[in-house]
Amino acid sequence: MPANFKKIVQEIPAHVSHLFDKGRVADYIPALACIPADKFGFSLLTATGDRFETGDCQERFSIQSISKVFTLSLAMGYAKEELWSRVGREPSGSKFNSLVQLEYEKGKPRNPFINAGSIVVCDVLVSHLKNPRQALLDYMRVLSGSFDIDFDEVVAKSEAETGFINKALANFLKGNGNLENDVEEVLDLYFHQCSIAISCHELASASLHLANHGNSNTLKESVLTPSQVKRVNSLMLTCGLYDAVGEFAFRVGLPAKSGVGGGIIGILPGEYSVAVWSPGLDPSGNSLAGGAALEYLTTITSKSVF
């Protein structure tokens, strides 16, 4: 880790602030439409426990699709190898909620980070857990070390009321035999996972096990095995940024997962986890300033997975 790491992180807002008003907030989810576009938070946590932060890093926001990393991690402990008979491991190359692709694939989602794939992951959790919503919440609280993290019920309600395409995806999965439980029950978990409100500071902590061979700084035991960490990180690198994953890998060079709430988590294996939040999105649904911030980080530090 470079000696001037603190200085680099403090410089980041100045290098990306010109992008704050260039992106578009995810206004198709009404509860997200009112988030100020100039919000910016950044938190980096090293494997040795050093933390570097700037901006609105303590303010909580809706993590949306970043939650898919954590539901996948939780489900891998239950479904094990059987999960991959129901969900693929390839980049989609299509929009994250594409019905056309799901039909083409005969009801098997291309990967667990597109919406259809994450709905199948939620189905696994509903099958194995008595109270999957609470189990996921407890998982996030333990990983982050913040035990007041909760669902944003306003966001969850807004998603449920406007999530017609997600409902179509779930029903198509059910019609093709790839959903075991009641559609509404599975979607309730899916909409709630997306509504989890968490800060960059907490998200960097929750993600650290992915940079530290499965070991968390908040737990004495491993969260995932090294093999499972390898799989989650590889899926983030190849599938984590919707249909712009190749461009992100080219520019940034980190396994990462974004959400339309404006957040992105990134992992440099063996070194750090990082979380950034800026609500303005590019046309692919990824944070415009957030992506630029991570590109600046890996360029100035000369550290990426490549």
> What does the CA dihedral 199, 142, 245, 283 come to, rounded to 10 degrees?
-30
Dihedral angle computed from the Cα positions of residues 178, 184, 187 and 192, in that order, rounded to the nearest 10 degrees: -150
Average pLDDT rounded to a whole number, residues 143-155: 95
- Rounded Cα distance between 158 and 160, Å, is 6
DSSP 74-109: HHHHHHGGGGGGTS--S---S-TT-HHHHHHTTT--
pLDDT cut 90: percent of the chain above it: 87
Q: In angstroms, what is the C-alpha Rg of the chain? A: 18
Q: Cα separations (Å) of 255 from 45, 186, 218?
A: 15, 27, 22
DSSP string, 102-155: HHHTTT--S-TTSHHHHHHHHHHHHHH-SSHHHHHHHHHHHHHT-TT-EE-HHH
How does pLDDT run across 228-246, given as a tens digit for each residue?
Answer: 999 999 999 999 998 899 9
pLDDT value of residue 220: 65
Pairwise CA distance, residues 120 & 86, whole Å: 7
The catalytic residues are: 65, 68, 190, 242, 260
Nearest to 178 by CA among 77, 90, 261, 82: 82
Domains and their CATH numbers in the chain:
5-301 (3.40.710.10)
Q: What's the whole-model pTM score?
A: 0.96
Identify the pLDDT of residue 3: 47
Q: Report the chain's mean pLDDT, rounded to a whole number.
A: 94
Q: Does 269 score more than 80 pLDDT?
A: yes
**Residue whose token pair is 């994250």:** 96
Structural element, H or E, at residue 12? helix 5-16
- Give the model's pLDDT for residue 305: 96
- Looking at residue 167, the DSSP 8-state letter turns out to be H
> Do residues 22 and 288 touch, judged by C-beta distance below 8 A?
yes
Structure tokens at 171: 């029903």
Q: Which residue is associated with the tokens 């992105």? A: 264
Q: What angle do CA 107, 285, 176 make, to 5 degrees?
A: 10
Alpha-carbon distance of 241 to 2, in angstroms, equals 27
Per-residue buried b or exposed e for 83-100, using 16+ beta carbons within 10 Å of the residue's own CB: beebbbeebbebbbbbee
Contact 126, 150 (CB under 8 A): no
Task: For residue range 164-221, list pLDDT tens digits in order.
Answer: 999 999 999 999 999 999 999 999 999 999 999 999 999 999 999 999 999 887 776 7
What is the CB neighbour count within 10 angstroms for residue 234? 13
